Structure 1
């Protein structure tokens, strides 16, 4: 089993350069970071985790800028968005950002995507929450055209452009792996676009059945990465009995010294099962 880290990079926590180096030095294989462009001051959408929305959600760095900084000081770790909110992103700009990060990292980018939960946030980007699933699927199809065709065009319900040239192309061909986040409603999206399913904190007792359902919908053995996993060894051990490729151990957003100490504990726990 492979082990990486999932976290929020903010202006109050460890810098992305220091974090990238630390993850690589400890033998972990990947760094996935979350995205929120902003948090509306008056929010009706309930926080999925329950209770008050943690402060880190308000302060996230742009994931492509942060991961580019980490790419510049590392050589091996995979660099993933966990997740990029495609509902809030222009597909032509995002396709260029994905390809550019893949290029500057030497082909180490993973494009983790999701539809999001904060309806007011996506509405501020002009997205109707009722059609966000169709919007995400269409934008992903448009981005695939931009990554793979020298002269790309797309005509759909939400995305429409005549033939265009867009470079750079990704180093990884046909494009960086797409890790599809979400629950059961995302399984058709996994089937259509997913190089992996990014299961968000699903407990081991529920994950095995969910993997079987997901693969039944996909019609193939889609790899599974689990996001935001506790670093407790007894929890990790439960996941090792399932058909999971990678665990992303959750790293709280803290200043550098606290983060490095916590990262040491996560790496030591992972070492027990590698």
Structure 2
């Protein structure tokens, strides 16, 4: 089992290059960064984590800029989104961003995706919350076409373009892994149709042993499982390893560099 960190990289926390170096020095395998393009001032959508939305949600860096900085400061660290809100992103631009990150990192990129929770944020991008799952599906499928075809085209309900040249192509074959976030009743359908792995949040995925077994049986293969926001407790790490989890992500609070390094030292004791 491998270990990584998920976090919100912001303008008032540790810089992404310094964070990447610190993770690699401590033997961590990966860095996953969150995305919010903005937070509407007037918001009716409840935050799933509680009453008050934490400040770091307002201040995230663009994930691909942050991950590029981390990638160029490291040699082995995998760099990934956790999660990219692709229902708020143009798929042609997204395909180029991820392929470019995979190129500059020499094949270390991964794309963790989800549909998000903030309906006001979605609407500001022209996304109808009621159709966001169908939109997510088409954008993933379109991105994979752009990554793998010399003359890519896609014709769907929401995404529609005639043959195009789109470069660079990713370094990884056939493409960087697409990890599906969430644990809802249709999540496994998405993993089986267009995902390369499952990325649930710790504590929100029910019986992990049973669910991982169900997913892998349905897929007929050992689908990789990455558990997000894992508490930094030894007994929980042991529980996830016994469940067959491939990668554990500890949630790093958004703090200045000195405090971030102290927290990473504590996390490293559990790896």
1:223 aligns with 2:224: yes
Counterpart secondary structure, 2:207: helix
CA deviation after TM superposition for structure 1 residue 195, in Å: 1.3
Matched, 1:42 2:42: yes
Instruction: Indicate the residue corresponding to 2:235 in structure 1.
Output: 234
Question: 2:216 aligned with 1:211, yes or no?
Answer: no
Say whether residues 1:54 and 2:54 are aligned partners: yes
Kept in 2, the 8 Å contact 1:224–1:245? The answer is yes
Matched residue, 1:172: 172
Task: Name the count of aligned residue pairs.
Answer: 270
User: What does residue 127 of structure 2 align with?
Assistant: 127
In structure 1, stretches of 5+ residues that fail to align are none
User: Could you tell me whether the CA contact under 8 Å between 1:188 and 1:218 is conserved in 2?
Assistant: no
CA distance in 1, matches of 2:158, 2:83: 21
Question: Which position in structure 2 is the counterpart of 1:190?
Answer: 191
Regions of 4+ moved over 6 Å: none
Deviation at residue 141 of structure 1 after TM alignment:
0.8
Secondary structure of the equivalent of 1:180? strand
Offset at 1:173? 1.4
Alignment partners' CA distance in 1, 2:204 and 2:120: 28
Q: 1:263 to 1:170 in 2, by over 3 A?
A: same
Deviation at 1:213, TM superposition (A): 3.4
- CA contact under 8 A between 1:188 and 1:217: conserved in structure 2? no
* Partners of 1:195 and 1:28 in 2: CA distance: 21
- CA deviation string 1:89-128 (max 9, x = no partner): 0000000000000000000001111111111111110000
Q: Is the 8 A contact 2:183 2:205 kept in 1?
A: no
Query: Counterpart of 1:227 in 2: which secondary structure?
Result: strand
Distance in 1 (alpha carbons) for counterparts of 2:192 and 2:5: 25
Q: Which moved more, 1:219-228 or 1:260-269?
A: 219-228
**Equivalent residue for 1:75?**
75
**Compared with structure 1, are the counterparts of its residues 38 and 105 closer, same or farther at alpha carbon in structure 2 (3 Å cutoff)?**
same
**Superposition map of 1:90-105 within 5 A:** 90-105=90-105
How many Å apart are 1:219 and its aligned residue?
4.3
What TM-score do the two structures reach when normalised by structure 1? 0.95
TM-superposed CA distance for 1:218, in Å, is 3.5
Q: 2:201 is matched with which residue?
A: 200
Q: CA RMSD in A?
A: 1.3
Over residues 158-196 of structure 1, what are the superposed CA-to-partner deviations in whole Å (9 max), with x where a residue is unaligned? 011111111000000111011111113211110012211
2:60 alignment partner, SS class: coil
1:267 and 2:263 matched: no
Q: Secondary structure at the match of 1:179?
A: strand
1:215 & 1:119 partners in 2: Cα distance? Answer: 32
**Mapped contact 2:183–2:204 kept (Cα < 8 A):** no
Further displaced range: 87-96 or 204-213: 204-213
